[in-house]
Structure 1
Amino acid sequence: MSRIGKKPVAIPGGVTAEINNGALSVKGPKGTLTMGLSDLVTYSIEDGTISVKPANDGKAARSHWGMQRTLVSNLVEGVTQGFTKTLDITGVGYRAAAQGKSIKLQLGFSHDVDLPVPEGLEVKTPDQTTIEISGIDKQKVGQFAAEIREWRKPEPYKGKGVRYRGEFIFRKEGKKK
């Protein structure tokens, strides 16, 4: 039994959810999100909650149960509050600047890295060493943050690079004389 899957997802006030044509659509104050439904799980909307149950007693259905409930929960949370990832840049001369629908990164390469911001995301740079990515789709926010981090991962000796806020980087001691 999935402990996560058993809990119904509450639909807050101002949010509407409907199931039609094999898709769950959730509309809220921040926008609308749609998710395709799995055949291994049954979904029902009743009494202001969305319930997720396995379609049968098979192992595949039970393994999809908790994940599908979490995806439904992310839809509801995304249209009400949204999601934010914060990246910190460490290193001499490393900086970032949001310019309209793109972000310009200077990460120690011989050239600047210009990345287009995906549709539905908002990127802010409160200062030169901080990047805030926000949007209603948790997957898009996390994917774009990972793409930025991929350009210069934090290295273990000096800690230079792009890291998530609050991420711990295991530091190594350098060569000894």
Structure 2
Amino acid sequence: MSRIGKQIINLSDQIITEINGKKVSIIGPKGKLSYHLSNLIDIKESDNKIQLKAINSSKEAKALYGLSRTIINNMVIGVSQGFEKKLEIQGVGYRSQMQGDNLILYVGYSHEVIIKPPENVKIIVENNTNITIHGINKEIVGQIAAKIRAVRPPEPYKGKGIRYQNENIRRKIGKAGK
């Protein structure tokens, strides 16, 4: 069985869980998240601890066992601490700014690129080149960060583009390097 799935999820005093059949809702200081479990996974809550168990040992149950535990653990972390992703813009003339809730990117195209974040996700722009994405749902925060990065991914010759903070870009030498 899954080593990750066997681990117990510890809850703090400020987190409330609601389990209705296969629907798990977690409420914390930052918000509320819910997840619908598969019929192959069983969940039990007792004295601020959540434990999952696979009903049988089929291949699908084994795959969903660790996944479900990780998703519920990320929900607990999200409603208590939240998640964030940081992006950097590199390139001459490349910049970003906020207009209301929308992120506007100027990254070498003839037009600006407007990205509208979903609710529960907050985007902050610091000094026009650093973008921080905050939210309680790890999946949505990562998806928005990937969407912003995909507007102008870093290219291997000069390194221009939008990259994750501390991302290592493999550089190529180019023509003059022969």
**TM-score scaled to structure 2, two decimals?**
0.96
Paired residue for 1:142?
A: 142
RMSD of aligned Cα (Å): 1.0
Q: Secondary structure at the match of 1:143?
A: helix
Gaps of 5+ in 2: none
Q: Which residue of the partner structure matches residue 74 of structure 1?
A: 74
Paired position in structure 1 for 2:7: 7
Task: Tell me, in whole angstroms, the C-alpha distance in 2 between the residues paired with 1:145 and 1:20.
Answer: 32
Cα distance in 2, alignment partners of residues 99 and 117 from structure 1 = 12
Matches within 5 A, 1:144-163: 144-163=144-163
Q: CA–CA distance in 2 between the matches of 1:139 and 1:10?
A: 21
Aligned pair count? 177
The 5 A counterparts of 1:16-95 are 16-95=16-95
Partner of residue 174, structure 1: 174
Question: Which residue of structure 1 aligns with residue 120 of structure 2?
Answer: 120
Q: Percent same amino acid among aligned pairs?
A: 46
4+ residue segments displaced more than 3 Å: none
Aligned-partner residue type, residue 71 of structure 2: L
Distance of 1:108 and 1:159 partners within structure 2: 14
> What CA deviation, in whole Å up to 9, does each residue of 1:52-89 have, x standing for no partner?
11111212111111111000000000000000000000
TM score, norm. by length of structure 1: 0.97
In 2: Cα distance, 1:132 partner to 1:99 partner: 15
- Asked if the contact 1:5/1:53 (under 8 Å) is kept, the reply is yes
> What's the counterpart of residue 98 of structure 1?
98
Unaligned runs of 5+ in 1: none
Partner SS, residue 125 of structure 1 = strand
Deviation by residue 1:9-66 (Cα, 9 ceiling, x = unmatched): 0111110111115310000000111111111111111121110111112121111111
**Following the alignment from structure 1 to structure 2, what is the Cα–Cα distance between the partners of residues 127 and 52?**
45
Task: Report the Cα distance in structure 2 between the residues aligned to 1:42 and 1:22, rounded to whole angstroms.
Answer: 8
CA separation in 2, counterparts of 1:150 and 1:54? Answer: 37
Cα distance, 1:175 vs structure 2: 0.4
Matched letter for residue 140 of structure 1: I
